[in-house]
Amino acid sequence: MNTALWSAQILLAVLFLVSGSLKVSMRKDRLIATGQTGVAPFPPAVIKTTAVCELLAVAGLLLPRLTGVAPLLTPLAAVGLALVMVGAVTSHGSLLRADRAAGRGSREAVNVAANLVILALCVFVAAGRF
């Protein structure tokens, strides 16, 4: 079980390191163009704040367990990322509904599914590390 939890933590850390780095370094229009369409409804300040939170959570997923200092921070980081993913699922779901209402094809269903998988990983880590 410990191996599965570490694997999930490392996978989440890599995913959110990439996501947070892109969000902190790219403009909103560029993020959307590269496929991070979930940021569309949010102002740049919210996107940047989310990016910083994601990057801090990366440290929280790994460092407390590696160092043995404040290991409670690991499941708390996973809970925080789960909340981010609830927002991502909601955002992509809203975009999917809008695309369907307008009769447009959309990749948002894939984004919703991917975000649900990431959300499940966050919940797995949180539950396993509490």
Full-model pTM: 0.93
Tokens at 100, concatenated: 């369907």
pLDDT above 90: residue 22: yes
Give the pLDDT of residue 105: 79
pLDDT above 90: residue 1: yes
Percent of all residues in the chain with a pLDDT value above 70, rounded to a whole number: 100
Q: Are 54 and 63 in contact (CB under 8 A)?
A: no
Query: 68-100 as b/e, with b when 16 or more CB fall inside 10 Å?
Result: eeeeebbbbbbbbbbebbeebbebbbebbeebe
Residue-wise pLDDT for 35-94, tens only, equals: 899 999 999 999 999 999 999 999 999 999 999 999 999 999 999 999 999 999 999 999
